[in-house]
Amino acid sequence: MMLKRANTILYCRRWAETVEFYRDILQLPIAFQNDWFVEFRLTDHAYLSVANTQRATIQSAEGHGITLSCQVSDIDSAHETFKQQGVAVTPIRQKWGGRLFYLHDPEGHRIELWQPLTS
């Protein structure tokens, strides 16, 4: 089996706030949207969607058991940008061969941003 595209779907009670977070704070481009579902483009073949639980067939996990992990090109700049926007972020730390920090979306999903250690 050869996968061509991946889409992670987050089912959210705080749908509007979560969409706003990914659109305005993380500045992810919208690939598709309607009145209860928004699909954000992460890469050419990876997407992240936010679905409103009032219309979906699956309920929110309320952030439990989910970490979205994304590699960034400049961890220090990303960390500073979120701090300046008033987003609660953890300190940057070294782990798993990289530098990383965490933040949470309005629904409670943990987001890990990381950058590999340079040699």
Residue that has been written with the tokens 């400049």 in this structure: 74
Based on the domain organization, do 37 and 68 belong to the same domain? no
- With H, G, I as helix, E, B as strand and everything else as coil, classify residue 34: coil
Both structure tokens of 83: 């701090």
pTM for this entry: 0.92
Taking Cα atoms as reference points, which of 70, 68, 86 lies closest to residue 25? 86
Do 9 and 32 share a domain, yes or no? yes
The answer to whether the beta carbons of residues 57 and 47 sit under 8 Å apart is no
Q: Which CATH number is 93's domain given?
A: 3.30.720.110
Cα separation, 19 vs 21, in Å, equals 5
Q: What is the pLDDT of residues 9-19, one digit of tens each?
A: 999 999 999 99
Give the pLDDT of residue 118: 81
- Look at residue 119 and tell me whether its pLDDT is greater than 80: no
* pLDDT tens-digit readout, 41-90: 999 999 999 999 999 999 999 889 999 999 999 999 999 999 999 999 99
Domain edge (last residue) among 37, 55, 73:
55
Domain that holds residue 18: 1-55
Strand partners, 37: 51
- Give me the CATH number covering residue 37: 3.30.720.120
pLDDT bin (cut points 50, 70, 90) of residue 108 is: very high
Q: Coil, strand, or helix at residue 76?
A: helix
